Amino acid sequence: MNNVPYADQKIRTREMVIIIANAVIGVGILTFPRSIAKETDAFDGWISVLIGGAAVCLIGWLLGKLASRFPTRTYFDYVALIVGRPFAYLLTLLFGVYSILMVSFEVRAVGNIAKQYLFTNTPVEMITLAFLLIVQYAVAGSRMALLRLNLIFLPIVLLVILMVQMYTLRFLEWENVRPFFSSDWMTLLKGAKGVTLSMSGPEIVLFYTLLMKRPQDAPKSVILGLAIPVLLYMTIYMVIIGVFSAAVARNLTFPTIELAKGVEVPGGFIERVESLFFTIWIMTIFNTSTIWFDLTITTLRSVFTRFSKFTWILMISPIVYLIAMSPQNQNEFFAFGDRLSYFGVVIAYVIPLLLLAIAKLRGVKESD
């Protein structure tokens, strides 16, 4: 009998909840208030967060239903069952490309923001490379240990974000949040689209349900895992608008970091809270990056079985770095992120939902 609760090689339901939450809380949490403030009036953006979050929860639940339909099979295996092996090779490779692009985006985001706020004299190329090497080293180890790092990091991240919000409430001005409900529905839906695009991550359930002790809980895990970032997005947006106003938030590149810069902890115990916030945020991006890197290796190894995990890490890392450094400035970086979001909607949402529909119509299940 094993007395060590986390020594097994299966993920519990609550662990999957935390893994999904960590995968979603990434770069988007720093920039989404700006995109919503551009589309909505005053305080109404919280409705867009609620609508967009509900849409992502519904999609995530359906993705969980697809994965739990084949609890002991890999993504490649059950796609092959549904549409045949030729399409399975193509769709799995496309997901691998998407995963590589996600890793590239995350590591470049760390490089850009670290240079802007922490290491102003260090080239962004060196910051990005250093972070990528750390991610590379982590992925080379145990997958289960990597996934369970989320259990340690998420409570710390949530605690620091809540602390930032609590200490900035005294700067809230009621004039900034009025008038209420002044946005029309089309405007709110445009804002919701931005929220939906920024909340990438629930698609990891397509690959990690295989590792769950109770695969039938995958849909529930996605819903609970997404509820955490949705509530976080909503409270962060409310505080940012209350402190800065929608007009100011529209012109801030990273509104959430600017909010942290205004925090003053009584007693002077922490002088630069934004540095603490950024350090904690790097922990989240580290988890997100390692998850996407692991998914890249998983997808490619299921298609090209001859190469080992370590070989794939060595081959993929230079590609990730070159893609990460391809944007020449901040505007190109954000344009890259926008294109990646739309590509992700097709690869991670539209295609799996079509696969679920085909599996339902054809009656394809695990036993087939």
Q: Residue 305: which CATH number?
A: 1.20.1740.10
List, in order, residues 6 or more apart from 270 with CB less than 8 Å away. Answer: 276
366 falls within a domain: no
Provide CB contacts within 8 A for 243, sequence distance 6+: 168, 171, 172, 173, 176, 259, 262
Domain limits for position 233: 32-358
Give percent of the chain with pLDDT exceeding 70: 93
Q: Whole-number mean pLDDT of the chain?
A: 86
User: 80-94, 120-134, 143-157, 226-240 — which is least confidently predicted?
Assistant: 143-157
Residue 25 lies in a domain: no
Reported confidence tier of residue 168, pLDDT bands at 50, 70, 90: confident
In-domain check, residue 316: yes
Identify the CA nearest to 238 among candidates 52, 48, 53, 26: 48
pLDDT in tens, 301-337: 988 888 888 899 999 999 999 999 999 888 899 899 9
Q: How confident is the model at residue 185 (pLDDT cuts 50, 70, 90)?
A: confident
In a domain, 274, yes or no: yes
CA atoms of 249 and 153, how far apart (whole Å) = 28
What is the number of other CB atoms lying within 10 angstroms of the CB of residue 343?
Answer: 15
pLDDT score of 95: 94
Question: Which whole number is the average pLDDT over 287-310?
Answer: 89
Residue 181 belongs to some domain of the structure: yes
Mean pLDDT of 167-194: 79
Q: What number is the average pLDDT over the span 234-247?
A: 86
Tokens of 323: 């893609």
CB 257 within 8 A of CB 118: no
Task: Check pLDDT > 50 for residue 1.
Answer: no
Query: What's the whole-number mean pLDDT along residues 225-233?
Result: 92
**Cis omega (within 30 of 0) for bond into 179:** yes
What pLDDT does 274 receive?
A: 67
- Count: domains in the chain: 1
Residue 26 in any domain: the answer is no
- Inter-CA distances, 28 with 51, 197, 199, 201, 234, Å: 17, 9, 7, 11, 13
Q: Please check whether residue 20 lies inside any domain of the structure.
A: no
Is residue 22 assigned to a domain?
no
| 17-21, 66-70, 177-181, 231-235, range with the lowest pLDDT | 177-181
C-beta atoms surrounding 86 within 10 Å: 9
pLDDT band of 4, cuts 50, 70, 90 = very low
pLDDT of residue 43: 76
Predicted confidence band at 147 (pLDDT cuts at 50, 70, 90)?
Answer: confident
> Both ends of the chain: CA-CA distance in Å?
34
